[in-house]
Amino acid sequence: MRDTTRTTTRLAGPVTAVLLTAGLLASCSSSSPSASSSTTTAATTSTSSGGGGSASTIVVGGISSLTGAIAADFNAFSPGMQAYFQMVNASGGINGHKFAFSDNLDDGSNPSQFTQLTHTLLQQDHVFAVGISTFFFNPALYAQSGTPTFGYNVTGNWNGPSNLFAAGGSIQDYDVGASAVAWLLKQTHSTKVAFISYGSAITSSYNACNADANNLTKAGITVSYTDLSAGLGGNYTPAVQRMQQTGTDFVVSCMQSSDNITLARAIQQYGLKVHQLWLNGYDQSLLNQYSSLMQGVYINVNGNVPFQAAKTYPGVYPGMQAYLSAMQKYQPNYVNSDQALQGWQSAALLAAGIQKAGANVTQANVIAQINTLTNFTAGGLSATTDWTKVHTTQTFPACSADVVVKGSQFVPVASTGHQVFECFAQNVSLKNPTLATPPVGTPGT
């Protein structure tokens, strides 16, 4: 799937400050050598379990951007991991193993600091696994060491090595997004769609809207207007005027939340009657402040079950209810954060690998066991992830979810019945998209 660096959710709350760091893209290496076959047990510290047996604590280290220009967009991932570990430890652990989150180190939104901290975790602390939430992820040392590595994929640097596990899959395929847009066009009876994004220097924004616009155009859908070089914090009135002139009735924004609000204000001022789809803005605090501007706005939440699904469809999404309950108990400040949800998913994936590894809890075996999982959903929180494939390949049917603003609430958009995911085959007709059967294990089925 694709990730346009949301911060609430998946793909996160307000638009991420990552977008404000476009000039730093060159700092991110995309080298990714093959993972080694290390069999070290790394940081599994022995503890007495009574009865002559033994148990071990699985030590997990973390690196996040907790300070600096983009801190607000990456600080919730580790609390999500920690909440999952706290829940599991409270119930006795996994096969006698408990989890300890040793440190959540702060890279200060600085790529060189990230590299230094990587050396600390891998070569000094010898942690068993690592959770990463930063724009500056460099995969080289993690792949070389064979360390189970989990995180938030906003750079595309997770693709390839078998020990790198980005939440929801380690690839980014922007081409799959057009099917979800086309489906909403069909549902809203819209015929002329406009796209607005930042320029190519801000890759996540540009790539998403550019791919959608190109694919819909190829399918014969009228793309009435594109502005794929909009400025951060810009004036979008000229774009709205052009949309009005071209008869646009649906707008897709790949911009950050604050700029989506500016765009919506201009749309309202000009009386433009359009449906809007935002790829950023799934944030209750944003809705509380700008409810009048966000009415009817659709927001894509990528491959996650919307937080509101547990309440909207009681009993249908128990995994989300379990997540909400545990987060309220252990990390109440981050309950509705998409980053926290990704952290929880990452911790659940590590735990699944530990469970399947049985008595042979080495890094190499845990990695191997995770890579046998074909329909991982973190206990019912996401669309299925096939870890036998998604290090390098997009799988189909591809599933995503949307919410729509009604009053002061985000309301899950049901594709059929109480199913919050819309799934599409690889060869779906964008001109007349039809839903594919969700993969086995998809939440809500």
Residues 6+ apart with CB under 8 A from 187: none
Mean pLDDT of 149-175: 95
Structure confidence at residue 263 as a pLDDT band (50, 70, 90): very high
Q: What is the rounded distance in angstroms from the CA atom of residue 136 to the CA atom of residue 109?
A: 8
Q: What is the rounded distance in angstroms from the CA atom of residue 369 to the CA atom of residue 351?
A: 11
Residues 6+ apart with CB under 8 A from 216: 178, 181, 182, 193, 223, 430
Q: Is residue 226 part of a domain?
A: no
Q: Is residue 312 part of a domain?
A: no
Task: Kindly report, residue by residue over 10-48, the tens digit of the pLDDT.
Answer: 333 323 333 433 333 333 333 333 333 333 446 654 332
Task: Kindly report, residue by residue over 298-337, the tens digit of the pLDDT.
Answer: 999 999 999 999 999 999 999 999 999 999 999 999 999 9
Radius of gyration of the chain measured on its C-alpha atoms = 21
Q: What is the rounded distance in angstroms from the CA atom of residue 376 to the CA atom of residue 413?
A: 23
Q: Which residues of 362-392 are buried (b: 16+ CB within 10 A; e: fewer)?
A: bbbbbbbbbbebeebbbbbbbbbbebeebbe
pTM of the model: 0.90
Q: What is the CATH number of the domain that holds 78?
A: 3.40.50.2300
Angle at the Cα of 382 (from 295 to 167), degrees rounded to 5?
105
Q: What is the rounded distance in angstroms from the CA atom of residue 173 to the CA atom of residue 176?
A: 6
User: For residue 439, what pLDDT is reported?
Assistant: 97
Structure confidence at residue 55 as a pLDDT band (50, 70, 90): low
Q: Which residues of 219-242 are buried (b: 16+ CB within 10 A; e: fewer)?
A: bebbbbbbbbebebebebeebbee
pLDDT at 3 over 60: no
Task: Give which of 11, 84, 82 is closest to 323, Cα–Cα.
Answer: 84
Q: Is residue 83 part of a domain?
A: yes
Residue holding tokens 């951060």? 232
The amino acid that residue 275 corresponds to is H
Domain count, the chain: 1
Alpha helices in 162-218 (DSSP H): 177-187, 203-218
Are 362 and 72 contacting, i.e. CB atoms less than 8 angstroms apart?
Answer: no
Q: What is the rounded distance in angstroms from the CA atom of residue 175 to the CA atom of residue 387?
A: 20
Mean pLDDT of 395-409: 98
The amino acid that residue 393 corresponds to is T
The amino acid that residue 301 corresponds to is V
Task: Kindly report, residue by residue over 188-213, the tens digit of the pLDDT.
Answer: 999 999 999 999 999 889 999 999 99
Q: What is the rounded distance in angstroms from the CA atom of residue 218 to the CA atom of residue 216?
A: 5
Are 41 and 314 contacting, i.e. CB atoms less than 8 angstroms apart?
Answer: no
Task: Give which of 50, 65, 72, 59 is closest to 6, Cα–Cα.
Answer: 72
Q: Is residue 60 part of a domain?
A: yes
User: For residue 42, what pLDDT is reported?
Assistant: 60
Angle at the Cα of 395 (from 391 to 401), degrees rounded to 5?
110
- Mode of pairing for the β-strands spanning 44-48 and 54-64: antiparallel
- Please say whether the dihedral angle defined by the alpha carbons of residues 243, 244, 246 and 252, taken in this order, is positive or negative: positive
Local structure of residue 231 (DSSP, 8 states): P
Report the SS3 class of residue 164.
Answer: strand
Q: Is residue 363 part of a domain?
A: yes
Mean pLDDT of the chain: 89
- Mode of pairing for the β-strands spanning 149-151 and 129-133: parallel
Task: Kindly report, residue by residue over 65-113, the tens digit of the pLDDT.
Answer: 999 987 878 999 999 999 999 999 999 999 999 999 988 999 999 999 9
User: For residue 69, what pLDDT is reported?
Assistant: 81
User: For residue 44, what pLDDT is reported?
Assistant: 58
> Which residues on neighbouring strands pair with residue 283, listed in sequence order?
none
Q: Is residue 105 part of a domain?
A: yes
The amino acid that residue 424 corresponds to is F
Task: Kindly report, residue by residue over 325-375, the tens digit of the pLDDT.
Answer: 999 999 999 999 999 999 999 999 999 999 999 999 999 999 999 999 999
pLDDT above 90 coverage of the chain, percent: 85
Copy the structure tokens of residue 262. Answer: 């500016």
Q: Is residue 431 part of a domain?
A: no
Mean pLDDT of 159-180: 96
Residues 6+ apart with CB under 8 A from 46: 54, 55, 56
Q: Is residue 212 part of a domain?
A: no
Q: What is the rounded distance in angstroms from the CA atom of residue 399 to the CA atom of residue 401?
A: 7
Task: Give which of 308, 428, 343 is closest to 153, Cα–Cα.
Answer: 343
Task: Give which of 95, 88, 98 is closest to 43, Cα–Cα.
Answer: 98
- Mode of pairing for the β-strands spanning 54-64 and 129-133: parallel
User: For residue 103, what pLDDT is reported?
Assistant: 82
Residue holding tokens 């400040």? 333
Residue of 147 and 49 predicted with greater confidence: 147
Tell me, rounded to whole angstroms, the distance of Cα 429 from its chain centroid: 26
Q: What is the rounded distance in angstroms from the CA atom of residue 110 to the CA atom of residue 192?
A: 42
pLDDT at 234 over 80: yes
Are 5 and 16 contacting, i.e. CB atoms less than 8 angstroms apart?
Answer: yes
Mean pLDDT of 402-414: 98
Question: In which domain, by residue range, is 90 found?
Answer: 17-173+332-370
